Structure 1
Amino acid sequence: MITFPRNSSHETHFKLPNGSHAPKLIQTLRGIWRPIKALESARERYGDIFISNFSTLPRQIIISSPQAIQEIFTADSKLFDSGSGNRLIEPFVGPNSVIVLDGDRHMQQRKLLMPTFHGERMRAYGQTICEITQEVINQWTIGQEFVARPQMQNISLQVILKTVFGLKQGERYQQIRQVLTAMLDSFDSPWKSSLLFFNFLQQDLGAWSPWGNFLRQRQRLDELVYQEIHERRIKAELEGEDILSLLMSSRDEQGQPMTDVELRDELMTMLFAGHETTAIALAWALYWIHYIPEVREKLLQELNSIDIKNANPTTIAQLPYLNAVCSETLRIYPVAFFSLPRILRDDMQFFGYDLPKGTYLSVCIYLTHHRPDIYPEPNQFRPERFLERQFSPYEFLPFGGGNRRCIGMAFAMFEMKLVLATILSRYSLQLLDSRPLLPVRRGLVFAPARGVHLAVKEQY
C-alpha cells in the first residue's frame, strides 16, 4: 500500500484524507483539554485515517487501522525520519537522546542500549524492584489514605536511580529525586502542559516564570547528572550492574566510548521516559483492580497460588492473569496516546492517498486500542480478552512499534507485575474515588484524574 516516491511538486495535486477544518489553535486546545472526545469524534466523522493540524507541527495523518499501521511499522525505516518529529520531547531529553536521533546514529544508539533491558541483566533487577516496593509500602499504616500516582512514582523513580544510575541512598540521590519530581510537576495539568505546545509560551522571564523555572530545574538536574558521570570516570567504577556503568564501558563500532553529553541525554531519556510512565500505568492498574471486585478476586487467587515472598521474580512475571491485567491496563488508557511519528522523506502514496514530503504519520494508540472490531466493548476493562486471544503488534501497541518501539518495554512490564504482586500480597486496599476516573493530560502523557485515591484496609 506504500509507494515511494511520488513525482509531484505541487501540493494542489495531492489527494489528502479528510479532517477538521477548524483552526490549528482550536484543534490544539481540544487535543490538550479534551483529547478523547476530539479523537473519537474525528474517527467517527472521518474514519481510520484522517488529517489533523496540531500546534506548530506540520499536518499530521492520524492512523488507527491495523493494516495501515502494519505498513508503517514494517516499511523500510529509510522512508521516514522520526527523531526530528519529537521536538516536544527534546527539552527533557536533549538532542543526543535515542528518541530524537535518526538514521545510522539512531540505530547505533539503539543497538547500544537494547542489551541493558533484556535477558539476564534485566532479570537481575527483579529483586531490587521487589525490595524497593517493600521499603515504600512498609511506611503505609492501616487506615492510611494515599494517592496512588505519587506513591508509584516514588517506587519507579527509586528503581530507575538504582538500576540505571547505581545510586544508593545519599545526598545526590535525594537531590535528583527532588529536582526531577519538581520538573515533572511543572506540567501536571492541561493548563501547564500548554507550555510544551506553544513556542511563544517558552520564554525565560526569570525563575518566577513557568518556563524559566523549568529551565533552572533542568540546569540543576544536569549538574547532578554530570557530577555523577565525572566521579565515575575519575574512580573508573565501571564494574557495576547498573546501566550507567554499562554505558560508560561500552564502545561503538569505531571503538569510541560515549561522550559525557551523550551519556547525559540517554540518562535523561531513561529518567523521563522510564519512570513516570510506569508510575502512571501502576496507578491505573490499582484503580481498575479495586474498581472491579471480580478482577481483584481473580488476581488475588492467582497470586495466592504461589509463595510471593519467596518466589523468583521471573515466576511472578509469568503469571497469566497478572499479565492480562497489566496488558488490559495499558490497552484501555495507554499512557501515551500516540506512537512516535514518522515523517515522510519524500512524496508518498499511502492507502489511496497522495501525501507530500514532510507529512507526519501519527499512529494513534488510543484509537487503535478502542476499535470494537478488535476489542468488543472497548470501554470495558476486561483482562480476559488477553487470555482468549493473542493480539498482533499492530492491534496492541502501548509501547509503539517498528524500529521506534520503546526499548524499555520488557523492563516496564516486568516492573509493573512485580510491584503489583508485592503490594497486593501485603495489603488489602480500598478505592476511595466514587466516580469513574478519566485520563487527563500531564505533560506529554495521560494520567488518571486526581491520581487514584486509596486507603489501606488491612495487612495480610
Structure 2
Amino acid sequence: MFKPQVVVSHPQALQQVFATPTSKLDSGEPAGINSPFFGPQSLLALEGKPHQRQRKLLTPPLHGEKMLGNGRLISQITEEVSRQWPINQPFAVLPSLREISSQVILKVIFGLEDKSRYQTLKKLSIGLLKTPFLRILAIMIPALRRDLGAWSPWGSFLREIQTIDQLIYDEIHERTEETNQSRYDILSLMMLARDEDGLPMTEEELHDELITLLIAGNETTATALAWTLYWIYASPQIYANLLEEVDSLSVNLDPNVILRLPYLNAVCSEALRIYPVVLVGLQRVVKSPIEIMGYQLEPGTLVIPGIYLTHHREDLYPQPKQFQPERFLERQFAPHEFLPFGGGNRRCIGAEFALFEMKMALATILSHWEIELIDPQSVKPVRKGAVLSPAKGLQMRVTRLRSQKQFITQARSE
C-alpha cells in the first residue's frame, strides 16, 4: 500500500520541515530509505540517536583543514585525466568527469594504494552507475529482486555488490593493522574518530558509510561538474570573469584560497541551483500529527523536499531559467531557499567536500585548457537514474593548452 506523499517547495514550509523534531518527522529506513546499495548502518538508513552519532563521527573528516589537505591530490587527478583529452576534436567530457570523481573517491576518500584492489573497485563501481533498465526496476521494486543466477539482472547485481563488499572489508582489515598515523585520506580519519563514549566506528559502520560515499558521491559530483562546465563555456562573459579570477591567483595555488573564490563559488552555486543533480531531497515520514503552513499531516505521510521546484521559484530567483551567478554575490540564501544537497539533519554529509572537489577540478581545468562547447543549443537535461545529466555526455572541444598555472609541477617542487 502506497503512503500519501507531499512535495514541499515553499521556503516557509521547508523551514518548518527542517526544524521539526525528529521525534515527529524523520527519514531513514522507516521513511522507505532501504536501497540495496547501502547497508543498514548507512547514514541514509539510520534515524534518531544512531543517526546523530554517525553524523558527529563523519563530520570532521569531510570538513575543514583535514579536507583541505587533499586539495593537491584532487588537482593532480584532474590534470592527469584531462591530459587524455584530444586537441581540436569533439569528445564527450562527462566520462572524464566520472573518472575524476571515481579516482577522488578511491584515492582521497578510500586512500587505496593496492593497485589491483583499486582497479577492480573502480571498474565495478563505474559499472554500477551504468545500471541496465531491468536492474533499475528491481532496485526500485522489491518484488522484482529475484536471484535467477549470475546472468539474471538481480543475480549479477548481487554478485557485483558482494565483490565490492569484500574489497572494502579487505581494505578496512588491512588499515586496522596499519601503524601509519599521518595519512589524510577520509577512511583513515574515520577510523580515528571516536564518539562521546570513546568508541570507534565498527567495521560494518565503516563499510556501509564507504559504499554510501562510493555510490552516492560519484555520479552526482561528475554531473554537477558537467553542468557547471556547460554554463561556464555557454557564456563568454561568465567564462571571462571566472578566468580573470583564477588567473589573478599566485603561482603557488592554495586550496584554501580556491575554496573561497567568490565568483567561482557563485558559478558553482548557480549551476547547482538551475540544474540540481537530484530533483528532490530525502523523504521524511510523519511519526506524529504535525502542521505545515496550516496543513495537517497525519502519521505515515511522506514529506519530500522539492529541490528543483524551490530553485525555480520566481519569488526567490527572478528569471529562474537564466543562469545568473551574480545572484549569489548579491544575496546570501537561507538553507531553506537554496538546498542542492538537501537540508536539516538530512543535508548531505559530503556537501562541503563535493563543492571543494568541484572548485579544485574547475580551477585546474580553467588554468590548463581553452575549451569550447559543441553546439550549445543541443544540450538538454536527460534523466539518468536519479540524476539529471547533459545530453550526449556534453560534447566539447579543447582548442589549446594554456598551462598558466602549473598545479602539479608546483605541488611536486614543494
TM-score by length of 1: 0.83
Deviation at 1:433, TM superposition (A): 3.9
Structure 1 spans left out of the alignment, 5+ residues? 1-55
Deviation at 1:85, TM superposition (A): 5.2
Instruction: Work out the CA distance in 1 between the residues paired with 2:376 and 2:326.
Output: 25
Whether contact under 8 Å (1:284, 1:329) holds in the other structure is yes
Determine which of 255, 266, 273 is the counterpart of 1:313: 255
Instruction: Work out the CA distance in 2 between the residues paired with 1:196 and 1:291.
Output: 36
Deviation at 1:233, TM superposition (A): 2.3
Residue correspondence of structure 1 range 396-411 to structure 2 within 5 A: 396-411=338-353
Deviation at 1:278, TM superposition (A): 0.9
Q: Is the aligned partner of 1:224 residue 2:174?
A: no
Whether contact under 8 Å (1:137, 1:423) holds in the other structure is yes
The aligned residue for residue 387 of structure 1 is 329
The aligned residue for residue 94 of structure 1 is 39
Deviation at 1:280, TM superposition (A): 0.7
Deviation at 1:437, TM superposition (A): 2.8
The aligned residue for residue 61 of structure 1 is 6
Identity of matched residues, %: 50
Deviation at 1:213, TM superposition (A): 1.9
The one-character-per-residue Cα deviations of 1:208-253 (angstroms, maximum 9, x if unpaired) are 2222222111111111111111222234555522121222233333
Relative to 1, partners in 2 of residues 1:374 and 1:438: Cα closer, same or farther, differing over 3 Å?
Answer: same
The aligned residue for residue 74 of structure 1 is 19
Instruction: Work out the CA distance in 1 between the residues paired with 2:164 and 2:146.
Output: 20
Deviation at 1:387, TM superposition (A): 1.4
Instruction: Work out the CA distance in 1 between the residues paired with 2:13 and 2:383.
Output: 27
The aligned residue for residue 31 of structure 1 is none
The aligned residue for residue 113 of structure 2 is 168
The aligned residue for residue 35 of structure 1 is none
Of residues 236-245 and 398-407 in structure 1, the stretch that sits farther from structure 2 once superposed is 236-245
Relative to 1, partners in 2 of residues 1:201 and 1:146: Cα closer, same or farther, differing over 3 Å?
Answer: farther
Determine which of 110, 116, 125 is the counterpart of 2:61: 116
Residue aligned with 1:455, SS:
strand
Whether contact under 8 Å (1:331, 1:398) holds in the other structure is yes
Determine which of 10, 26, 29 is the counterpart of 1:84: 29
Whether contact under 8 Å (1:85, 1:341) holds in the other structure is no
Relative to 1, partners in 2 of residues 1:162 and 1:77: Cα closer, same or farther, differing over 3 Å?
Answer: same
Relative to 1, partners in 2 of residues 1:116 and 1:337: Cα closer, same or farther, differing over 3 Å?
Answer: same
Instruction: Work out the CA distance in 2 between the residues paired with 1:306 and 1:218.
Output: 44
The one-character-per-residue Cα deviations of 1:102-155 (angstroms, maximum 9, x if unpaired) are 000000000000001111101111111111111111222312432222211111
The one-character-per-residue Cα deviations of 1:360-410 (angstroms, maximum 9, x if unpaired) are 110100000000111111111111111122211111110111111111111
Q: Which amino acid aligns with 1:457?
A: T
Instruction: Work out the CA distance in 2 between the residues paired with 1:400 and 1:85.
Output: 18
Q: Which amino acid aligns with 1:294?
A: Q
Instruction: Work out the CA distance in 2 between the residues paired with 1:163 and 1:434.
Output: 33
Whether contact under 8 Å (2:31, 2:284) holds in the other structure is no
The aligned residue for residue 233 of structure 2 is 290
Residue aligned with 2:46, SS:
coil
Instruction: Work out the CA distance in 2 between the residues paired with 1:326 and 1:57.
Output: 37
The aligned residue for residue 187 of structure 2 is 244
Whether contact under 8 Å (1:232, 1:238) holds in the other structure is no
Determine which of 332, 357, 378 is the counterpart of 1:415: 357
The one-character-per-residue Cα deviations of 1:324-381 (angstroms, maximum 9, x if unpaired) are 1100110001011111112111122322222220101101000000001111111111
Deviation at 1:94, TM superposition (A): 1.1
The number of residues matched between the two structures is 402
Instruction: Work out the CA distance in 1 between the residues paired with 2:161 and 2:137.
Output: 18
Instruction: Work out the CA distance in 2 between the residues paired with 1:450 and 1:297.
Output: 26
Instruction: Work out the CA distance in 2 between the residues paired with 1:68 and 1:218.
Output: 38
Q: Which amino acid aligns with 1:421?
A: A
Q: Is the aligned partner of 1:342 residue 2:287?
A: no
Whether contact under 8 Å (1:238, 1:248) holds in the other structure is no
Whether contact under 8 Å (2:17, 2:292) holds in the other structure is no
Instruction: Work out the CA distance in 1 between the residues paired with 2:159 and 2:301.
Output: 34
Relative to 1, partners in 2 of residues 1:86 and 1:376: Cα closer, same or farther, differing over 3 Å?
Answer: same
The aligned residue for residue 203 of structure 1 is 146
The aligned residue for residue 5 of structure 1 is none
Instruction: Work out the CA distance in 1 between the residues paired with 2:152 and 2:232.
Output: 40
Residue correspondence of structure 1 range 7-46 to structure 2 within 5 A: none
The one-character-per-residue Cα deviations of 1:398-429 (angstroms, maximum 9, x if unpaired) are 01111111111111111111101100111111
The aligned residue for residue 409 of structure 2 is none
Deviation at 1:258, TM superposition (A): 2.1
Relative to 1, partners in 2 of residues 1:318 and 1:253: Cα closer, same or farther, differing over 3 Å?
Answer: closer
The aligned residue for residue 152 of structure 1 is 97
Instruction: Work out the CA distance in 2 between the residues paired with 1:362 and 1:303.
Output: 38
Relative to 1, partners in 2 of residues 1:353 and 1:255: Cα closer, same or farther, differing over 3 Å?
Answer: same
The one-character-per-residue Cα deviations of 1:167-203 (angstroms, maximum 9, x if unpaired) are 136111111100000011115x7x7644433233332
Instruction: Work out the CA distance in 2 between the residues paired with 1:113 and 1:360.
Output: 27
Q: Which amino acid aligns with 1:74?
A: A
Structure 2 spans left out of the alignment, 5+ residues? 403-414
Whether contact under 8 Å (1:129, 1:418) holds in the other structure is yes
Determine which of 233, 249, 257 is the counterpart of 2:200: 257
The aligned residue for residue 408 of structure 2 is none
Residue aligned with 2:382, SS:
strand
Of residues 294-303 and 249-258 in structure 1, the stretch that sits farther from structure 2 once superposed is 249-258
Instruction: Work out the CA distance in 1 between the residues paired with 2:33 and 2:146.
Output: 15
Instruction: Work out the CA distance in 2 between the residues paired with 1:72 and 1:210.
Output: 38
The aligned residue for residue 375 of structure 1 is 317
CA RMSD of aligned residues (A): 1.9
